[in-house]
Amino acid sequence: MDESAVRDRLRKVSDPDLGDDIVSLGLVNAIDIEDGTVHISLALGAPYSPNESAIAADVRDVLADTGLEVELSARIPEGVSPSDQVLPGVKNVIAVASGKGGVGKSTMSVNIAAGLAQLGARVGLFDADVYGPNVPRMLAAEERPHTDGELIVPPERYGVKLISMDFLTGEDDPVIWRGPMVHKIITQLVEDVQWGDLDYLVMDLPPGTGDTQLTILQTLPLTGAVIVTTPQPVALDDAVKGLRMFGKHDTNVLGVAENMSGFTCPDCGSVHDVFGTGGGQGMADEHELPFLGGVPLDPAIRTGGDDGDPIVLGEGETADAFKLIVENVANNAGVVRRREVSQGR
């Protein structure tokens, strides 16, 4: 079997999101056959996303009866997306944002990062919430960064490399920084941290649409953003403002995630919609965005955050809700990257 015959086989493999076969979409970078092994490079950009794993499995299936050993690699071709010299070893930068505080944005960031690492991905988490950095507590990260003489080496917890604004301040010290200082610190932490090779860098942004968000949008090549809200109309109004901020900077929005979607009474089993119902889904539908999923109002989330034990790493309904959001975030990041390849070829 030659390269042309292999390519014809690959036309039977469909992209579940882009609606065409991987050859027509330009997602096959190269095919090399040597000593009974076919080496195939695919333009897949979201490691461990369920849909990209399914594409790889389908590639193996269509070649299963050829007698060839199949070796797959994944690489987004250079020049397809904007050049990334700021974080050259990072495949995807995902911002987690909310229009207002108190909607569980940091909880979502921590569980997305820990959930991606649990899938097997190489993950970093940048706690960029300048005025309320609490991610180290939520990961029980007691180790602080150190330097190797040139770069800042981040500590690692649950397989997640962590940098937080909290590491730059004393315990209980308030942060009183003006815009230029925020810009300088964010830029320095991005450029001077030894992130290494990462599949995903999750950015926990402060609430609102201020200097930190603007710096990150202007500095980093974001794959996309996750908008966090509760079902409450007040939260939704502010979430839309955050959504429009990303739109003005031509940043992809991977979807809407909803916290506090309902409380199941442990005594009677009935569900109480404390903050309303359906708001996140409605917002996603109105703006033609994916709804990533909803997480119930569960006391175990608070306990996990306070104790540094992300609930996504456990079992049960709430853990499963977070795991679904993690998978959807990875899948939608993959859609963004594969669409870039298909449109840029």
> Is residue 20 located within the same domain as residue 99?
no
> Is residue 222 located within the same domain as residue 119?
yes
> Is residue 312 located within the same domain as residue 248?
yes
Round to whole Å and give the CA distance between 56 and 276. 41
Please say which residue of 47, 74, 101 terminates a domain: 74
Residue 83 has a pLDDT of 44
User: Does residue 105 have a known ligand-binding role?
Assistant: yes
Contact 138, 132 (CB under 8 A): no
User: Does residue 276 have a known ligand-binding role?
Assistant: no
Sites in the chain below the pLDDT cut of 70 = 79-85, 131-132, 169-180, 208-210, 234, 262-277, 345
152: tokens are 């800042």
> Is residue 66 located within the same domain as residue 127?
no
User: Does residue 102 have a known ligand-binding role?
Assistant: yes
Determine if the pTM surpasses 0.85.
Answer: yes
Phi and psi (nearest 5°) for 95? -90, 135
Residue 337 falls inside a structural domain: no
The total number of structural domains in the chain stands at 2
User: Does residue 101 have a known ligand-binding role?
Assistant: yes
User: Does residue 104 have a known ligand-binding role?
Assistant: yes
User: Does residue 89 have a known ligand-binding role?
Assistant: no
Residue 329 has a pLDDT of 98
Round to whole Å and give the CA distance between 118 and 137. 19
User: Does residue 228 have a known ligand-binding role?
Assistant: no
Residue 1 has a pLDDT of 84
Residue 54 falls inside a structural domain: yes
Full residue range of the structural domain in which residue 240 is found: 93-330
Look up the CATH number of the domain holding residue 37: 3.30.300.130
